[in-house]
Amino acid sequence: MALGLRVRNANGFVQIDGNYRNSALVAKYTVNPSAASNPNGMFITDLTIPYGIYPVLVGHTPGGSNSMAFSLLSRSGSSWTYRILTTTRAAIEVYHFDNMSIAKITGTVGIRVRNATTGEVVFDSRCKYMRIIDTNYGAGNNHVAVDRTYGVAKVGVMQAMRFMTSPSEALPGNPPLILASIIQSVFSASGGRAWTGTASVIVLGPAQNVSAFNFENWSWGYLMLDLSNFD
């Protein structure tokens, strides 16, 4: 078979060919945290994405005046709802990346690359694709906080895994309640600087849901992305 197109980087690695796969920008949301907060003062806001296939959310906190975390996720048909926790009510930015078939496309056609077998467009130069520049991940209860500055105009953080534990305590009452403490991974990203750490979240719920609170998951991880020129 004749060679169609291959794009290599300076190190000789193939970056784009007929097998290219990457998530592309679909939409950007500016989220103003609601006044509702849990007992320890973190603010709770729900963000619904009207349509998604394999949504990836990346957060940015302008000015560094807020820290955030992506929490509960639910799906109804093609829409996805994420619960976002923040430490203040300062506005945050959320970038939705997904399958390029629903990506935001602007400008005139430049280069399109198709898979030679299926004819599927696997790369379109009008799309804005994810650019991962760093990672921070691991397991165990020794969560490693980082504070790094990158040589880019704007950095965002994707929360790849959560870091939490949930010892629970039964409270008297009718009906009885369960008090659970969760250590939630949080992050902040402003300009070219990204910070990751943890925050404590208090959950109060019905006793019949106690099994949902009795768990430990010490995995944690983040991807740092270059969001320059994505607005």
Average pLDDT, the chain: 81
Overall average pLDDT of the 165-172 stretch: 61
User: What domain range is 57 assigned to?
Assistant: 24-98+131-226
177-204 residue pLDDT tens: 666 666 677 889 999 999 988 776 666 6
Query: Is 149 a domain residue?
Result: yes
Query: Is 115 a domain residue?
Result: no
Query: Is 7 a domain residue?
Result: no
CA distance 183 to 37: 16
Query: Is 172 a domain residue?
Result: yes
pLDDT at 85 over 70: yes
Q: Are strands 168-171 and 177-190 parallel, antiparallel or unpaired?
A: antiparallel
Q: Is the dihedral of CA 191, 59, 78, 115 positive or negative?
A: positive
pLDDT band at 96 (very low <50, low <70, confident <90, very high): very high
Q: Are strands 68-76 and 24-31 parallel, antiparallel or unpaired?
A: unpaired
Q: Is the dihedral of CA 158, 205, 78, 116 positive or negative?
A: positive
pLDDT at 227 over 90: yes
* Per-residue tokens: 73: 């996720």
Q: Is the dihedral of CA 96, 99, 102, 103 positive or negative?
A: positive
pLDDT at 134: 94
Percent share of the chain, pLDDT over 90:
29
107-147 residue pLDDT tens: 887 888 888 888 888 888 899 999 999 998 877 666 677 89
More confident residue, 12 or 69: 69
- Per the CB < 8 A criterion, the answer to whether 176 and 140 are in contact is no
Query: Is 114 a domain residue?
Result: no
Query: Is 53 a domain residue?
Result: yes
CA distance 175 to 208: 9
- Per the CB < 8 A criterion, the answer to whether 169 and 178 are in contact is yes
pLDDT at 216: 64
Whole-model pTM above 0.85?
no
Query: Is 164 a domain residue?
Result: yes
* Per-residue tokens: 72: 């509960």
Residue 139: name the closest of 217, 219, 216 by CA: 219
Query: Is 35 a domain residue?
Result: yes
pLDDT at 177: 67
What letter represents residue 219's amino acid? S
Overall average pLDDT of the 160-166 stretch: 62
What is the number of structural domains in the chain?
A: 1
Overall average pLDDT of the 30-50 stretch: 80
More confident residue, 190 or 11: 190
